[in-house]
Amino acid sequence: MKKSILAIAIFLSLFLSACSTTLPINYVPASSINGDGEISVGTIHYIPYEQGKVAENQFQQAEGSLGFIYLSDPVTDLIKTAVRKELIAGGFTVDDNSDFVIEADVTKFLYDWIGFVEVDFYLNINFQIRNKSGEVLFAHNTAAHQKAPKTMAQDTEAVRAAISKCIDEFFLEAHSKQWL
């Protein structure tokens, strides 16, 4: 009897841990640069979504994982909002009529929840600063990997930290080249 109950408990815990879930991400800026001037945030592309591999608000999943994890908003909206918030926190005026536009391609947005102790989040973003005619004036590829304990509160913090790391790296590089 005890073995049956234990077997059922193990089965249910494994089955329920493979269910889909949605993570709400509330991004809070912590800008690493101070600047001024006008710039706009243009199109953000989520490449795995555009390739038909995931939904617009879905994390890529690690090989062998069961279930899916979704965001409450599309990945493109999350990244665009985060970039806008960081620019404003850094002293820039975000204006859609600006001569300069920041655009980005999110090439990896992978959440690996396989394991018992921690989760891993991987983010790769290719940023560009373009002029009004679309010419790329500056480009920089960023990558972040964050580990977190396997709890819902820490999961969202890992995502926020990775987004912040990628944006900060891009801003610092663009600032050092005098584009921001």
Q: How does pLDDT run across 142-165, given as a tens digit for each residue? A: 999 998 777 665 667 888 889 999
* Mean pLDDT for the stretch of residues 79-99: 93
Residues contacting 139, CB < 8 A, separation 6+: 126, 127, 128, 129
Would you state the pLDDT for residue 37? 87
What's the mean pLDDT when you consider all of the chain? 83
Indicate the domain borders of the chain: 21-176
Domain 21-176 is found in CATH 3.40.50.280: no
Is a pLDDT exceeding 80 seen at residue 90? yes
Would you state the pLDDT for residue 68? 83
Would you state the pLDDT for residue 123? 96
Would you state the pLDDT for residue 95? 92
pTM for this entry: 0.81
